[in-house]
Amino acid sequence: MFIEPAETQAAVLTVEQSARLDAALGVIAEAPAGVKQHATASALRDYQHDGIRVIFYATALGSILIVTYVEVDETGESA
């Protein structure tokens, strides 16, 4: 589930960027607890890999991920 501003950020991605984001979300969904905590908000997780950044939190049972921020670079290289 995307909330603002992530929803707006995802809406302007190219098809290729969206595909890369979908793949990253799949990795995150497999083990959300394995993603490092956000530096300033311990309830948030901060996934960064190959030019993709996703900030999210999981529901109490971890079955639903709430995405609060997304960033996907154009080249697929780490920022």
pLDDT for residue 61: 74
pLDDT for residue 63: 78
* pLDDT tens-digit readout, 24-73: 999 999 999 899 999 999 899 999 999 999 999 988 777 789 999 999 99
* pLDDT tens-digit readout, 11-27: 999 999 999 999 999 99
What are the Cα distances from residue 72, in Å, to 12, 51, 53, 54, 57?
A: 10, 6, 6, 9, 18
Contact yes or no for 45/57 (Cβ under 8 A): yes
Contact yes or no for 70/6 (Cβ under 8 A): yes
